[in-house]
Amino acid sequence: MRIDIITVLPELMRSPFEASILKRAIEADLVSVHFHNLRDYASGGYKAIDDTQYGGGAGMVMMIEPIDKCISKLQSERSYDDIIYMTPDGERLTQSIANQVSLKENIIILCGHYKGVDQRVRDKFVTREISIGDYVLSGGELGAAVLCDAVIRLIPGVLGNETSALTDSFQDGLLAPPIYTKPREYDGMKVPEVLFSGNFPEIEKWREAEAYKRTKARRPDLLDD
């Protein structure tokens, strides 16, 4: 999988990909991530990528020209399955969306800034708009990093245990059940006996029941879905 990230702040984007699972995935050539500084595609001595909005109003708007130049250059080199724009008014990121994106071969992620991008960018290029929550950040970079983490860990071979991602919260529409490790008893708190039974059908039945119970208590909206 190849991910191209268009950003005003490439230095902010790099650090999440230089440690842990994302770093190992890149080093194993399971995914390649490339950062593109939008100012490299801007015209004029000031390399401006934003301007005031027509009709008045507070806040600057990212101009279409540098974005067009960057995306067009990338598209001249390869085809892309999706061009994703990170924006607060996009569809909220879910595990299902992460699953869908993980199946793509090449994607572009455009990070918004200021008041956002000229609407013509969205009309001409963007195929999907994603938000990581109902709040506003200073830019789309952190949202892009969250999306990449959620997607890359699903690529076969990235996680040490192939089944690990399949048992995460939300994969089956439920939150994950409680999990335990050594010691068996700590400060009077005991691990449920069923986990030592060796009866794996019974253990799975217990986990399913606990997952349902936890979801009902904490996220009943998931059961409605």
Residue 158: the pLDDT is 94
Is the domain of 207 the same as that of 127?
no
As for how many domains the chain has, the answer is 2
Residue 45: the pLDDT is 80
How far apart are the C-alpha atoms of 22 and 7, rounded to whole Å?
19
The residue from 152, 185, 205 where one domain ends is 152
Is the domain of 132 the same as that of 175?
no
Report yes or no on 90 lying in a domain: yes
Is the domain of 96 the same as that of 12?
yes
Report yes or no on 160 lying in a domain: no
The CATH number that applies at residue 23 is: 3.40.1280.10
Among residues 82, 60, 173, 71, the alpha carbon closest in space to that of 130 is found at 82
- Residuewise pLDDT in 10s, the chain (225 residues): 999 999 999 999 999 999 999 999 999 999 999 999 999 999 888 889 999 999 999 999 999 999 999 999 999 999 999 999 999 999 999 999 999 999 999 999 999 998 999 999 999 999 999 999 999 999 999 999 999 999 999 999 999 765 566 566 567 789 989 999 999 999 999 999 999 999 999 999 999 999 999 999 999 999 986
Residue 172: the pLDDT is 76
Overall size of the chain counted in residues:
225
Is the domain of 97 the same as that of 183?
no
Residue 190: the pLDDT is 97
Residue 165: the pLDDT is 64
Is the domain of 148 the same as that of 174?
no
Is the domain of 90 the same as that of 187?
no
Is the domain of 131 the same as that of 183?
no
The residue from 93, 119, 152 where one domain ends is 152
Residue 177: domain span: 169-224
The residue from 152, 177, 196 where one domain ends is 152
Report yes or no on 118 lying in a domain: yes
DSSP 90-136: EEEP-HHHHHHHHT-SEEEEEEPBTT-B-HHHHHHT-SEEEESSSS-
